[in-house]
Structures are given as C-alpha cells and as structure tokens.
Amino acid sequence: MTDSGSLPSRLTAGLSGQDLAKASAGIRAATDLCQNGMKLGLGSGSTAHAFVRALAERVRDGLDIVGVPTSTQTYDLAGELGVPLADLNDLVELDLTIDGTDQMAPDGSMIKGGGACLLWEKVVAKASRRVMIVADDTKLADHLGTFPLPIEVLPFGWRSSRKQIVELLADHGYENPDPVLRNRSDDLVITDSGNYILDVTLGTVTNQAELTVLLNQIPGVVENGFFVGIADGVVVGRPDGSSEIIQDLAGRDADRW
Ligand SMILES: O=C(CO)[C@H](O)[C@H](O)COP(=O)(O)O
C-alpha cells in the first residue's frame, strides 16, 4: 500500500532526504493506523517522534486515544503536545505500538536501542496486540548486524557481564567481539532504568533468535536490542515523501526486501 499523497507542510517544512522520509513514515502511521479508543504504545527516536507529532495533531482534531511512552524523552514530547498519557500498569495491555528501528531484516527481526530505550520499548511492544514500525528506507537491511547491537546491563558487575557476553558471542561464531560501554559527549549513558549500554558490532547476524535468548540468560544483562518476532509490519518512508505500509512481517520467509 504505497502513498505519496500530500504531507502537511507544518510537519515537514524544511525537511529533506532522510528527515523527510522519517516524517512521512510517522505521519502515515498516525493517519492510517490510529483509531478512536485505541491504547497506543508510543515509541522513541526521531521517527517515532515524527509519529507522536502527527498523532498530537489528530488528538487536537478530536481523536480519542491514550498513549504509553517508551522513554522519558517521549513522555516529555507527548506531554508537551497534549497527547493523553497513561501508566502501563493501569492499562496492562495495549492495542498498538508504533516505534522506530535501527535496522530491520526482511523477516521483521530488528536491532533497536540506538536511543538507549530498548528495555521500555520491548516491555511496551510485548504488551501490545500489534506492533508497527516506522522507518526511513535506510533501516531496511538484508540481514542484521552492521548496526551495533545494544545490550542493557546492570551497573553492578558490568565488567563480569561483559566478559560473559564476549565468551557467548565467541562461542557462537563472532570473532573478537568487543562490547563498548556507551558514552555521549564523554558522559556515560544511563538508561531510563538506571543501567548502562554496551554496544557490540557483530557483522552478519543470522542467529538473532537464539542469541536474544542466550544473551538474556547472562546475569546482569537486563535486555538486548534484538527484537525477534515482535514487529507485525513496517511503514517505510522515502526521501521523496512517499510511504509504504508492509503488513504481516512476523514469520515472513524472505531473505531480501
Ligand atoms: O530503538 C530506538 C531507540 O532506542 C529507536 O527507535 C531507533 O534508535 C531509531 O531511531 P531513529 O528513528 O531516530 O532513527
């Protein structure tokens, strides 16, 4: 389902290239996927935030939804824009989550966590009956792994957790894995749950389903950025402002987009 209909200029003014692609995916998701009465998971990152801005316009026009943010940044943005918010503990189950991705393979598996929000993002996605991803077309890859995998670890004993991560990855075919503690502008990145992020570049990944289980068995690993069997579909935005909705990704048997 491709759409290159006109985009509201107040949401796209001055944007070009990848930013326009992100905005077009976000606007399409808010326009075509959100309906009255829905309990929505609100993703994190610039593409999900383009969605939140477009959703806020629909709320101002009368759309009746409630949102659960997947990060403090999304909580702040959605709150400022007047999107009604709720605590996941008060809703327990959601109708639909719209979130971004760092990389998506043709079977719908993803690497997420470039914005350090993977833990809340996975909790919210797994609480949702349906998960749709918003992405510019650079995020679609024939396989995962060129984007470094984020792994959220407890600060307590993180060096021991890191050592076990290295051993696990080496045992599963990855040469000299080197998880790096994430810093931004020389400051250690601390997640919304008070944890650290280790980023590890893996190259070509084909065993993401197995790794996602094994990584989470290491004491101190809180969550990893593989999202396998979670996305139902993707809204792909392109630099010309067009967008396409691809449904039924989970379990899709394809090795190329
Ligand atoms: O997983 C995420 C944050 O943890 C984001 O969804 C991901 O990093 C994509 O971000 P952007 O839309 O800015 O490219």
- Which CATH number belongs to the domain containing residue 163 in this structure? 3.30.70.260
Range in 11-15, 172-176, 187-191 the model is least confident about: 11-15
| CB-count burial class (<10 Å; 0-12, 13-18, 19+) for 217 | exposed
Enter the DSSP assignment of 144. Answer: B
Q: Are residues 14 and 134 in the same domain?
A: yes
Answer whether residue 254 is part of any domain: no
Q: Are residues 165 and 216 in the same domain?
A: yes
Answer whether residue 252 is part of any domain: no
At 154, is the secondary structure helix, strand, or coil? coil
What is the band of 9 on the pLDDT scale with cuts at 50, 70, 90? confident
121 is known as an active-site residue: yes
What is the band of 10 on the pLDDT scale with cuts at 50, 70, 90? confident
Checking if the pLDDT of 164 tops 80, the result is yes
What is the band of 90 on the pLDDT scale with cuts at 50, 70, 90? very high
Q: Are residues 205 and 129 in the same domain?
A: no
Write the pLDDT tens digit of every residue in 195-247: 999 999 999 999 999 999 999 999 999 999 999 999 999 999 999 999 999 99
Q: Are residues 131 and 165 in the same domain?
A: no
Instruction: Kindly state the helix (H) or strand (E) to which residue 52 belongs, with its residue range.
Output: helix 46-60
Answer whether residue 256 is part of any domain: no
Q: Are residues 61 and 185 in the same domain?
A: no
Q: Are residues 236 and 126 in the same domain?
A: yes
**How many domains, the chain?**
2
Write the pLDDT tens digit of every residue in 112-163: 999 999 999 999 999 999 999 999 999 999 999 999 999 999 999 999 999 9
Q: Are residues 13 and 75 in the same domain?
A: yes
The whole domain housing 211 covers 149-223
Checking if the pLDDT of 3 tops 70, the result is no
Residues with CB under 6 A from ligand 1: 22, 43-48, 99-102, 112-118, 121
| Helix runs in 100-140, H state only | 118-126
- Which CATH number belongs to the domain containing residue 112 in this structure? 3.40.50.1360
Task: Identify the pLDDT of residue 145.
Answer: 95
Catalytic residue among 80, 121, 152, 210: 121
Q: Are residues 163 and 71 in the same domain?
A: no
Q: What is the pTM of this model?
A: 0.96
Q: Are residues 190 and 237 in the same domain?
A: no
Answer whether residue 47 is part of any domain: yes
Q: Are residues 65 and 121 in the same domain?
A: yes
- Which of 24, 44, 75, 136 for mutating ligand 1's site (highest number of atoms within 8 Å of CB)? 44
- Which of 22, 98, 112, 121 for mutating ligand 1's site (highest number of atoms within 8 Å of CB)? 112
Average pLDDT value for the chain = 95
Within 8 A by CB and 6+ apart from 229, the residues are 108, 109, 209, 250, 251
Q: Are residues 171 and 74 in the same domain?
A: no
Answer whether residue 95 is part of any domain: yes
What is the band of 251 on the pLDDT scale with cuts at 50, 70, 90? low
Instruction: Kindly state the helix (H) or strand (E) to which residue 129 belongs, with its residue range.
Output: strand 128-136
Checking if the pLDDT of 177 tops 70, the result is yes
- Output the CA 234–ligand 1 centroid distance in Å: 14
